[in-house]
């Protein structure tokens, strides 16, 4: 199903404002999808400094929730205290979430939840989804964008 996964990559030291702006962009992408549920993979492997715990809790509480939000899978880049606080905040907000060390682990987990799809990590960090042998979804990872913009919703996976 097209428009089913949003891949967000953070790098550097994301600010509170950047995190909240990204949350708004994610909601807009979910709104633009016809899928019954839209999953989000947040790759923070290139984050050099996590926001303070108080900012993490504040942004989690302030981030809008969407009724069609599926799984929110976070990858790397967070210290143990921030991961714990984020996990608690998401539980209180009743959001389906899991933390992973690698994007491959996150993809493997999502495969177990969305059995009709085959998900692989393709060239240059692209997520490639296949259904019945046909490539229907892909998300390029333009590395220059993540460096220049520091964070961004880089790709909405689109059907071909």
Q: Which domain holds residue 44?
A: 5-114+141-159
Q: How many domains does the chain have?
A: 1
CATH of the domain at 37: 3.30.750.24
**Does residue 102 fall inside a structural domain?**
yes
**pLDDT tops 70 at residue 149:** no
Residue 66 lies in a domain: yes
23 domain residue, yes or no: yes
pLDDT (tens digit per residue) in 52-108: 878 877 777 766 678 888 888 888 866 676 667 666 666 666 677 788 888 888 888
> Distance (Å, rounded) from C-alpha 39 to C-alpha 4?
6
3-state secondary structure of 104: helix
Torsion of CA 118, 78, 142, 41, to 10 degrees: 30
Kindly tell me if the per-residue pLDDT of 120 is higher than 60: no
Tokens in use for 53?
Answer: 């715990």
Quickly tell me which residue has 């933390």 as its tokens: 99
Q: Is residue 68 part of a domain?
A: yes
In a domain, 38, yes or no: yes
> Left (φ > 0), alpha (ψ -120 to 50) or beta: where does 116 sit?
alpha
- Classify residue 98: in a domain, yes or no: yes
Contact partners, residue 130, CB within 8 Å, separation at least 6: 117, 118, 119, 120, 136
In a domain, 132, yes or no: no
The pLDDT, as a whole number, for residue 132 is 36
Q: Whole-model pTM?
A: 0.67
Asked if residue 122 belongs to a domain, the reply is no
Query: What is the reported pLDDT for 145?
Result: 27
């Amino acid at each position: 199903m097209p428009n089913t996964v949003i891949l967000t990559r953070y790098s550097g030291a994301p600010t509170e404002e950047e995190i909240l702006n990204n949350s708004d962009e994610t909601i807009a992408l979910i709104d633009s999808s016809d899928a019954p549920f839209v999953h989000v993979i947040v790759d923070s492997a290139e984050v050099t400094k996590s926001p303070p715990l108080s900012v993490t809790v504040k942004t989690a509480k302030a981030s809008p929730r969407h009724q069609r939000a599926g799984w929110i899978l976070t990858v790397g880049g967070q210290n143990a205290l921030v991961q714990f606080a984020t996990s608690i905040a998401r539980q209180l907000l009743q959001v389906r979430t899991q933390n992973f060390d690698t994007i491959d682990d996150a993809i493997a987990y999502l495969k177990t939840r969305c059995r009709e799809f085959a998900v692989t990590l393709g060239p240059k960090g692209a997520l490639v989804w296949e259904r019945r042998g046909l490539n229907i979804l892909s998300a390029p990872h333009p590395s220059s964008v993540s460096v220049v913009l520091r964070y961004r919703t880089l790709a909405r996976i689109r059907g071909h």
